[in-house]
Amino acid sequence: MNDKDRLKGTTTVAITCKDGVVFATETRATMGNLIAHKVADKIFKIDDHIGATIAGAVSDAQSLMKYISAEVALYKLRNGEKISIESAAALASNILHSSRFYPFFVQTLIGGIDDTGAKVYSLDPTGGMIEDKFISTGSGSPVAYGVLEDRYNDDLYVEEGVDIAIRAIKSAMERDAFSGNSVLVATITEDEGFKKLSNEEVEKKIKDIT
C-alpha cells in the first residue's frame, strides 16, 4: 500500500432541503499525524442532479467515483432518461458489495434531487446503504452531528442548509485534528443542477454566520 492509499481523515456533510441538497466538506488530507494535502477536493459531481462526498483512502475514493459516474452515464445513454437518486445509490452499493472481500476503504455520501424530492444516502465500505435527512461521515462527524441535530428542521431551504452545513464543518475543524484548512460547499437544485460555490462565496458566508 503506497502513501496515497493511506491518506485519510475528514469531515463530510450532506443535508436534504425542501428545494434540493447541500454537500459540504473540509479540504485536509492526512497521513498519520502529517497533513499531506491542504486542498483535497472531496465533493464530486456524478451527474447534473447527483453529487457525492468521500472520506477515507484517496485512491479508493477516486476510483469509486469514476465507476459510479461511468455507470450513471451509461444508464442515461441506454434508457434515455436520468437515473433516480435511489437507483444511483443502489448502484454504488452494489459496486461496494461486490468488492467486499477487497473493499474500497471509503465512506461515501450520495444524494441529489429527482421527481421524488431531495434524498441523501450513506454508504459503508461493504455496500450498506442508509437514507437519512442529514448525514455526516469521517473523523470529525461526531462534532458535526452536534450542529446538525441542533439546527436541522424539515422546512429548510438550500440557502439555509448551506449555512448549517458550513457551521457543522467549521465546528468539526475546531475539534478534529484530521479536519481543517478550508471549506468546500456544493448544492443541487432543480433550477441550477449541481453547483459548487466559489471560495469567495464560501468565505463570505463564513463571515456572515460568525
> Do 166 and 183 contact (CB within 8 A), yes or no?
yes
- Closest alpha carbon to 192 in 14, 80, 51: 51
- Closest alpha carbon to 13 in 47, 42, 46: 42
Collapse the DSSP code of 80 into the 3-class scheme (helix H, G, I; strand E, B; otherwise coil) and give the result: coil
| Extended strands (E) in 27-86 | 29-31, 34-37, 43-47, 50-56
Active-site residues: which are they?
A: 10
Distance CA 88, CA 164 (A): 26
Distance CA 90, CA 123 (A): 9
- Residues recorded for the chain: 210
